[in-house]
């Protein structure tokens, strides 16, 4: 049992979870506040990760690499938004879900191996140093509570969660401003907003780009501890972010945070639980992982059907079909 708890805690505070939270914050701007169906958040993340890693490998300093990543994602978002944001919502869903896959296909294509590393991706050591060099903690290991990590790893933990809280603060300011009111108005009724003289298209575009930028930041943090693996950032990743967001509660500022932590902890619980208690003759260890994902899929369905407001969402605001 202690192992399960340890694994759950470890998953809950890992930078990976932080990356999920940030990407989910972006998705919350898209879907929770503006009603945009972005089904390709993983594509935004991968785009940001590539932009960051490739420019770092090419010699860009950290700040420039981050800027390039954000720039790439902005262009990507505009490209997807221009044809779709004037149309009915599901066109955006179809185009984003496709575009995210295309980014992955193209990234892993053998023609681009020299740039993107093909299907092998870009190993973390090629780009991580510009980040870890900034660590004020020096070498060695430190134990805090039950966790004993390298100092560079603690640095990553610290930065990742600092970014999470900065993002949460930013979103809180944004959605409580008149601009945030515009977002919710667009979510409710685009025609009404037009009749009030609001430029709905521009608002949606801003939301799409902004949420995508959060995705890019999430993508960078996602690949910092490991490597840029195009196949690890496919459609599943998008769906996990959706599940995390809906679990926590869309249109709630802290929904993504709570949802992601719960998501990872619950998944760890299901998987280690199945590992520990189900004999491997019935379920091999590879199967317990798949089993955990099946549970995620079904949980997503159940959530949407029975508790669309998630754990902390406002029930009345989150009825989808008001």
Cα–Cα distance measured from residue 253 to residue 168, given in angstroms and rounded to the nearest whole number: 7
Using CB under 8 A as the binding rule, whether residue 280 contacts another protein is answered as: no
Tokens of 289: 């992982």
Using CB under 8 A as the binding rule, whether residue 88 contacts another protein is answered as: yes
Nearer of residues 210 and 216 to another protein, judged by Cβ: 210
In order, the DSSP letters of 216-279 are: HHHHHHHHSSS-B-GGGSSHHHHHHHHHHHHHH-TT-TTHHHHHHHHHHHHHHHHHHHHHHHS-
Q: Report the site for another protein in 36-65 (rule: CB under 8 A).
A: 37, 39
Among 111, 138, 145, 279, binds another protein (CB under 8 A): 111
Among 95, 237, 247, 274, binds another protein (CB under 8 A): 95
Cα–Cα distance measured from residue 29 to residue 35, given in angstroms and rounded to the nearest whole number: 8
Helix/strand/coil for 188: helix
Q: By rule CB under 8 A, what string of x and - marks binding of each residue 171-210 to another protein?
A: --xx--xxxxxx-xx-xxx-xxxxxxxxxx-----x---x
Q: Report the site for another protein in 119-158 (rule: CB under 8 A).
A: 119
Write down the H helix ranges in 14-61. 15-27, 41-57
Least separation in angstroms between residue 176's CB and another protein is 9
Least separation in angstroms between residue 5's CB and another protein is 25
Q: Report the site for another protein in 299-318 (rule: CB under 8 A).
A: 299-302, 304-306, 308, 316-318
Task: Please list, residue by residue across 26-54, b when 16 or more beta carbons sit within 10 angstroms of its beta carbon and e when fewer do.
Answer: bbbbbbbbbbbbbbbbbbbbbbbbbbbbb
Least separation in angstroms between residue 152's CB and another protein is 29
Using CB under 8 A as the binding rule, whether residue 165 contacts another protein is answered as: no
Backbone angles phi, psi at 172, to 5 degrees: -60, -45
Among 98, 135, 151, 226, binds another protein (CB under 8 A): 98
Q: Report the site for another protein in 67-86 (rule: CB under 8 A).
A: 79-80, 82-84
Least separation in angstroms between residue 158's CB and another protein is 25
Cα–Cα distance measured from residue 20 to residue 8, given in angstroms and rounded to the nearest whole number: 15
Q: What is the DSSP letter of 61?
A: -
Using CB under 8 A as the binding rule, whether residue 235 contacts another protein is answered as: yes
Nearer of residues 63 and 320 to another protein, judged by Cβ: 320
Q: By rule CB under 8 A, what string of x and - marks binding of each residue 256-275 to another protein?
A: --------------------
Cα–Cα distance measured from residue 6 to residue 237, given in angstroms and rounded to the nearest whole number: 24
Choose one: 62-70, 220-228, 253-261, 288-296; the region binding another protein (CB under 8 A): 288-296
Least separation in angstroms between residue 151's CB and another protein is 32
Classify 249 in phi/psi space as left (phi over 0), alpha (psi -120 to 50) or beta. left
In order, the DSSP letters of 26-38 are: HHIIIIIIT----
Among 78, 90, 134, 162, binds another protein (CB under 8 A): 90
């Amino acid at each position: 049992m202690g192992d399960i708890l340890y694994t759950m805690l470890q998953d809950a505070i890992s930078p990976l979870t932080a990356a999920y939270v940030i990407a989910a914050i972006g998705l919350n701007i898209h879907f929770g506040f503006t009603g945009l169906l972005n089904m390709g958040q993983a594509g935004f993340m991968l785009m940001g990760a590539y932009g960051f890693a490739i420019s770092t490998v090419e010699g860009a300093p950290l700040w420039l690499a981050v800027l390039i990543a954000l720039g790439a994602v902005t262009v990507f978002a505009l490209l997807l938004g221009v044809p779709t944001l004037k149309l009915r919502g599901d066109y955006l869903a179809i185009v984003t879900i496709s575009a995210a896959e295309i980014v992955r296909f193209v990234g892993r294509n053998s023609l681009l191996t020299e740039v993107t590393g093909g299907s092998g991706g870009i190993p973390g050591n090629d780009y991580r140093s510009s980040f870890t060099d900034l660590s004020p903690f020096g070498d060695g290991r430190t134990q805090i509570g039950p966790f004993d990590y390298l100092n560079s790893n603690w640095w990553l933990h610290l930065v990742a969660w600092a970014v999470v809280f900065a993002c949460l603060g930013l979103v809180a300011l944004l959605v409580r401003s008149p601009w945030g009111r515009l977002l919710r108005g667009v979510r409710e009724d685009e025609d009404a907003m037009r009749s009030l003289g609001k430029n709905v298209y521009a608002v949606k575009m801003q939301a799409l780009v902004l949420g995508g930028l959060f995705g890019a930041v999430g993508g960078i943090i996602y690949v910092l501890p490991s490597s840029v693996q195009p196949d690890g950032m496919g459609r599943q990743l998008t769906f996990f972010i959706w599940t995390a967001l809906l679990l926590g509660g869309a249109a709630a500022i802290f929904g993504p945070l709570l949802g992601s932590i719960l998501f990872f902890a619950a998944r760890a619980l299901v998987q280690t639980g199945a590992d520990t208690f189900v004999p491997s003759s019935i379920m091999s260890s590879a199967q317990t992982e798949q089993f955990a994902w099946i549970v995620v899929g079904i949980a997503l369905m159940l959530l949407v059907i029975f508790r669309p407001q998630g754990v902390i969402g406002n029930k009345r605001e989150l009825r989808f079909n008001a």
